[in-house]
Amino acid sequence: SICYLNGEYLPLDQARISPLDRGFLFGDGIYEVIPSYGGKLVGFGPHIDRMQEGMALIEIGFDWDHAQWKDLCQQLMAKNGNGNLGIYLHVSRGADTKRYHAYPEGVEPTLFAFTFEIAQPPVADKSKAKGYKVSSTEDLRWRRCHIKSTALLGNVMHFQKGYAEGNNETILYNANNELTEASACNAFIVKNGVVITPPLDTQILPGITRLMLLDILRKYTDIKVEERVVTMKEVAAADEVWITSSSKEVAPVISVDGKAVGTGQIGDVWLKAQKAFEAHRY
Ligand code: PDD
Average per-residue pLDDT in the chain?
97
Model confidence at 120, in pLDDT bands (50, 70, 90)?
confident
- Rounded to whole angstroms, the Cα distance separating 260 from 246 reads 25
Q: Domains of the chain: which residue ranges? A: 2-117, 132-280
The response to whether residue 208 sits with its C-beta less than 6 Å from ligand 1 reads yes
Model confidence at 121, in pLDDT bands (50, 70, 90)?
confident
Q: What is the average pLDDT across 8-23? A: 98
Bridge partner residues of 110 (DSSP): 92
Task: Name the helix (H) or strand (E) containing 11.
Answer: strand 8-11
Q: What are the pLDDT digits (tens) for 43-92?
A: 999 999 999 999 999 999 999 999 999 999 999 999 999 999 999 999 99
Helix axes 268-280, 208-220, angle to 10 degrees: 100
Q: What is the average pLDDT across 252-258? A: 98
Q: How far is CA 265 from CA 194, 198, 248, 275, in A?
A: 18, 23, 18, 17
Q: Indicate which residues carry an active-site annotation.
A: 148
Most informative mutation of 245, 247, 250 for ligand 1 (most atoms within 8 A of CB): 245
Compute the radius of gyration of the chain from its Cα atoms: 19
Task: Name the helix (H) or strand (E) containing 30.
Answer: strand 29-37
Q: Domain 132-280: state its class.
A: alpha beta
Query: Of all protein residues, whose CA lies closest to atom 16 belonging to ligand 1?
Result: 185
Angle at 205 (CA atoms; ends 272, 203), nearest 5 degrees: 115
Most informative mutation of 118, 172, 186, 202 for ligand 1 (most atoms within 8 A of CB): 186
Q: How far is CA 146 from CA 53, 58, 149, 202, 230, in A?
A: 10, 12, 9, 5, 18
User: What CATH architecture applies to the domain 2-117?
Assistant: 2-Layer Sandwich (3.30)
Question: What residues have CB less than 8 Å from 157, skipping those under 6 apart?
Answer: 140
